[in-house]
Structure 1
Amino acid sequence: MKTKLRVLKVGGNLIDDPKKLRSFLNAFAKLPQPKILVHGGGKIATETSKKLGIESRLIDGRRITSAEEIQVITMVYAGLINKNMVASLQALACDAIGLSGADGNTILATIRPKKPIDFGLVGDVEAINSALIQKLLKADLTPVFCAVSHNNKGQLLNTNADSVASEIAIAMSFFYEVELFYCFEKQGVLENVEDENAVIATIDTAKYETLKAAGTIKGGMLPKVQNCFHALNNNVSKVIIGGPEVLNETHKQFTTLKL
C-alpha cells in the first residue's frame, strides 16, 4: 500500500491576506509528512507590475506574460512570496525548501504555441523531475514550489500554478497515493458567486460541462477545474477545492471533483 502524499496549492486572496495566510500555513505545517505546497501570487504580481508601469492582461484566467513581466513574476513568485512562505514554515517547525522549476530541473516546460493566442513567456509543463522531489521528501523536507518553470534553454517561464500542482501530483502518483487540494478564499466552487454558502458539494465531468455552459464556472476557475479533472484522469486519488478549513478533516464544506 502506497504512503499518502498531500499536494496543496494555495492562491487567491489567501496569499494577499497575511492573517489568513498565517492560519493556512499553521494548519499546513501540522499536516504529517510527506507533503508539497504550490503557490500562486497573481494579484501581488499585477500590483507590482502596475507600480512599474507594466500593463497586465489575462484571458480566461491566464496571464499574458511579456519579457518585462517575467522579471516581475520571478521577483514576486520565486522571491518575495516563496521565501516568506518558507521562512514562515521554518518558524512553525516545518523544514521547507523553496523551489522554482529551474531548481534541480524540477519543472521543465515549453513555451505555449503562439496560436490561437500569443501568451508570451508562458510555459506548459513538459516534465516533472519526480525522482529529485522524491529525494527531498525522503529527507523529510517539504518542497514549496512557485509557479515559475524553465525551458532548459536558459529561459524562465510563467506557468499556471494550478497546472503546476496538478502535474506534480500526477508525477508523484508513481510513488504515493496522492491527494490534491486547491485552497483559496472561498469554501469551494459556488453555484452563486453572491452567496458564500452556495457551495457545490460534488462536480463530475457531466456537471462541469453544464456549469461551464451556464457561465457558473468561468475566469480563473476554468483552468482550476480543468486541472482537477486532468489529475483525476491520471492516477491522482482525490481532488478537492475549498478554503483553508479543508485541512481540518472534520470540516465538511468544500467541493469534491469526481470522474
Structure 2
Amino acid sequence: MAQDPRGHEPNPLIGGFAHDGPIVVKIGGGSDPEPVLDEVAELALAGRPTVLVHGGGAVADLLSEQLGVERRVIRSPDGTHSRRTDAAMLDVITLALLGRVKPRLISGLRARGARSVGLSGADGALLTATRKPALRSVQDGRTVLIRDDRSGRIERVDPAPVRAVLDRGHVPVVSPPASDAAGNLLNVDADEAAARLATALDASALVLLTDVGGVLADLGDPATRIARVGPHHLEGDVVRGRMRHKVRAGLRASRTVRQVAIGAAHLHRPIHQALSGAGSRLCDEGERPEDG
C-alpha cells in the first residue's frame, strides 16, 4: 500500500475492496478542488481506477455576468430549482465547464503527478440525452411552461471512452454537456451524469462531494447530518434545494453501486471520509444488492 508523501497513514481506499470497480467522484463547481485532487491523484498513482466528474455552476454564474448573459432560474413545483438554459446560457455553461473548470482540474492532477484526460458527455457519445420539451416553473405564484430550455434527460451512457482512459492508467475528468442523437448539445445535471456513469462502469463506489458534510436536516446546523438516507427522506421538505437532485441521483445509483455517499469536499481525504461515515450514506432499500 502506497505511503502518503505527506507522512499520513496509507489510504484505506487503495486496495481492500471486495469489488474492484472504479471509484466515481463528483465535485461541485463551487467547492475547493484541492483536497479532492490530492486524494484522486493519490488513488490514481497507487493504481486505483478513479473517475472525476465535475460541475461548474459557480464558474458559469461568474462567466455569465462577465459576458452579460442574464442568469435565470427555473423553480419546479416540487421546490427544486435549476438554471434556465436557453441557447446563450448553454454557450456560457459549455465555455465555463470545458474552458475554465476542466483545465484547472487537469492541471492540478498533473501537478500532483497524475495524468488525466478531459471528456465531455458529448465526446464519443458518452452521454446521450433527449431534450426536455417543456419545463414547469413557478413564477410570481403561477406555474408557467418554459419551452426554450436546452437541458436534457440522460437516456443512454456509453462508458467506452472512459474505460479507454482508465485502461491507460489515467484519470478521466468528465463533465456536461451531453448531446442528443443528432449531435445537438444539451445541458444535463452533473450529479445525474456521475450516478449514471457509476452504474454503467459497475463502479465500486460513487461519492458526491459538495460544500456541506452530507444531507442535513437543518441546513444551518452540521450536527443534524443524516447518516443514512433513503427514499423516505425525499418526502416533505427534509431534503431541500439542490440537495434533492443529489439524493435522487445517488439513490438510483445505489441500486447497483455498492457504496454511495454525499460528503464535504474540503476535508482531508474527502472521498475516504465520506465513505467511512463522515458523510451521508445513500441506500435505496430493497433495490440494492447486499454488501459483499
TM-score over 0.5 for the pair: yes
1:59-70 correspondence to structure 2 within 5 Å? 59=75, 60-70=80-90
Q: Which residue of 1 aligns with 2:157?
A: 128
Q: Which runs of 5+ in 1 are unaligned?
A: 15-19
User: Based on CA coordinates, which of the two structures has the bigger radius of gyration?
Assistant: 2
Deviation, 1:115, is 4.7
Q: 2:125 aligns with which of 105, 108, 120?
A: 105
1:1-259 correspondence to structure 2 within 5 Å? 2-11=19-28, 13-14=30-31, 20-32=32-44, 33-58=48-73, 59=75, 60-116=80-136, 117-118=145-146, 120-173=149-202, 177-206=203-232, 208-209=233-234, 212-213=235-236, 215-233=237-255, 235-244=256-265, 245=267, 246-249=270-273, 252-258=277-283, 259=285
Please tell me the root mean square deviation across aligned C-alpha atoms, in Å. 1.9
Q: Matches of 1:48 and 1:223 in 2, distance apart? A: 23
Higher helix proportion? 1
Q: Is the 8 A contact 2:30 2:57 kept in 1?
A: no
Q: Matches of 2:29 and 2:216 in 1, distance apart? A: 15
Q: Matches of 1:129 and 1:252 in 2, distance apart? A: 32
Q: Is the 8 A contact 2:21 2:201 kept in 1?
A: no
Q: Is the 8 A contact 1:62 1:160 kept in 2?
A: no
Which residue identity lines up with residue 21 of structure 2 in the other structure? Answer: K
Deviation, 1:155, is 1.6
Q: Which residue of 1 aligns with 2:141?
A: none
Q: Matches of 2:52 and 2:70 in 1, distance apart? A: 29
Per-residue Cα deviation, 1:17-69 (whole angstroms, up to 9, x for no partner): xxx32222112211242110110111111122123222222332322101001
Which residue identity lines up with residue 40 of structure 1 in the other structure? Answer: G
SS of alignment partner, residue 187 of structure 1: coil
Q: Which residue of 2 aligns with 1:17?
A: none
Q: Is the 8 A contact 2:25 2:271 kept in 1?
A: no
Deviation, 1:113, is 2.4
Q: Matches of 1:113 and 1:240 in 2, distance apart? A: 32
SS of alignment partner, residue 230 of structure 1: helix
SS of alignment partner, residue 218 of structure 1: coil
Per-residue Cα deviation, 1:95-128 (whole angstroms, up to 9, x for no partner): 1101111222211111112154436110111211
Deviation, 1:153, is 2.0
Deviation, 1:243, is 0.8
Q: Matches of 1:23 and 1:148 in 2, distance apart? A: 25
Q: Is the 8 A contact 1:78 1:148 kept in 2?
A: no
Q: Is the 8 A contact 1:199 1:253 kept in 2?
A: no
Q: Matches of 1:205 and 1:146 in 2, distance apart? A: 26
The number of residues matched between the two structures is: 246
Deviation, 1:12, is 5.1
Range with greater deviation from structure 2 (192-201 or 180-189): 192-201
Q: Is the 8 A contact 1:61 1:223 kept in 2?
A: no
Q: Matches of 1:4 and 1:103 in 2, distance apart? A: 22
Runs of 4+ off more than 4 Å? none
Q: Which residue of 1 aligns with 2:7?
A: none
